[in-house]
Amino acid sequence: MNSHEPIAKTLDCIGLFCPEPLFQTREAIDSLEPGELLEVLADDPAAEEDLTRFAKRTGHEVVDFEESDDSMRFLIRKGK
């Protein structure tokens, strides 16, 4: 991924548990234009599987995923 590519929106889901990160991600990505990037921060253990599955099923792309000791960061590109 091009590190200079702008993030259109950041969604902070730290402290939220299933299904809230998924619901909020869906709502946030709906507000973007195709091709824009959504950054999602989460600490729910289910978020990795839930958001990856959501993106694949709905035509979006997880272009980057980072995991630290206590949180995860997703970059999701909105599909068409």
Active-site residue set: 18
Write the CB contacts of 63 (distance below 8 Å, at least 6 apart in sequence): 1, 37, 75, 76, 77
Strands (E), 1-80: 9-13, 37-42, 61-67, 72-77
SS3 (DSSP) at 15: coil
